[in-house]
Amino acid sequence: MPPQEIQEIYNHNVQQVLDLTGIFVFAVAGALMAVRKNFDVIGIVLLAEVTALGGGVIRDLIIGDVPPAAFRDLGYFSTPLFAAGLVFFLHPQVERISRTIDIFDAAGLGLFCVTGTAKAFAYGLGPVQATALGITTAVGGGAIRDVLAREVPVLLRWDREIYTVPALVGAAAVAVLVETGQFNAYTATAAAIFAFAFRVLALHKGWRAPRAWRRNSEVRGDFD
């Protein structure tokens, strides 16, 4: 599918709606982590902003969409502020925060792996490069959030349920849809839901990515 046709499907209004939806759910995830870490209001806002915008800014810088959309549209900054305000006053009970973070994070993961891949295609990138940028869009903000919260990023931890794989599957699905001419609003939505469901199922089932083959079990790592 030529980039012009992708632009027609993935027009500015659709892109903005999907981006703002992903930004909101990722911002909620970031703000909830700040609450769990007992951060003050500045910390809550900061984690909401970087979680929501980090991956998209990295994507836009790579594809040459500068200044990044997050710096051109006030809505991209105000949405995380709104999410942070909601969490500040209405956050769930502490013992339930961790699971809520995971659900909102999974929703953002599903949305951003699709929008990131589609936008990369719209800027003329090939399927492999677009898939890589879709994954970056999905996991970039969460990685920055974890670093600021003084945690090892989830995507690097073997002792946590698979995180990057659902984003990879969702981004790859979009790449296949684009290459076969089947990409549209319905298939894009289906890809996002599938990536979200994959991540939630991994959380429920405790699925983890394999470690190095024939790894010496006596050598203990940081999370053993």
In a domain, 223, yes or no: no
Distance from C-alpha of 23 to C-alpha of 12, rounded to nearest angstrom: 16
Percent of the chain, pLDDT > 70?
A: 83
Specify whether the CB–CB gap between 183 and 6 falls below 8 A. Answer: yes
Q: What confidence tens digit (pLDDT) does each residue in 130-160 have? A: 999 999 999 999 899 999 999 888 777 766 7
Q: pLDDT at position 7, please?
A: 55
DSSP conformational letter for 154: G
Q: What's the mean pLDDT in 62-69?
A: 91
User: Distances in Å between the alpha carbon of 51 and those of 71, 102, 157, 221?
Assistant: 15, 13, 18, 27
In a domain, 215, yes or no: no
Could you list the residue range(s) of the whole structural domain that residue 39 is in? 3-205
Report DSSP letters for 44-65, one per residue: HHHHHHHHHHHHHHHHHHHHT-
In a domain, 221, yes or no: no
**Longest Cα–Cα distance in the chain:** 56
Q: pLDDT at position 51, please?
A: 93
Q: pLDDT at position 10, please?
A: 55
> Does residue 112 have a pLDDT over 50?
yes
Query: How many folded domains does the chain comprise?
Result: 1
Angle between helices 12-36 and 94-122 (to 10 degrees): 150
Q: What's the mean pLDDT in 158-182?
A: 88
In a domain, 212, yes or no: no
Distance from C-alpha of 45 to C-alpha of 33, rounded to nearest angstrom: 11
Distance from C-alpha of 146 to C-alpha of 55, rounded to nearest angstrom: 13
In a domain, 108, yes or no: yes
Q: What confidence tens digit (pLDDT) does each residue in 31-44 have? A: 988 988 999 999 99
Considering only residues 196 and 99, tell me which one the structure prediction assigns the higher pLDDT: 196
Residue whose C-alpha is closest to residue 56's, from 73, 70, 71: 70
Q: pLDDT at position 222, please?
A: 53
In a domain, 211, yes or no: no
Distance from C-alpha of 167 to C-alpha of 172, rounded to nearest angstrom: 8
Q: How confident is the model at residue 3 (pLDDT cuts 50, 70, 90)?
A: low
Q: What confidence tens digit (pLDDT) does each residue in 181-218 have? A: 898 888 988 999 999 999 999 888 888 877 777 666 55
In a domain, 48, yes or no: yes
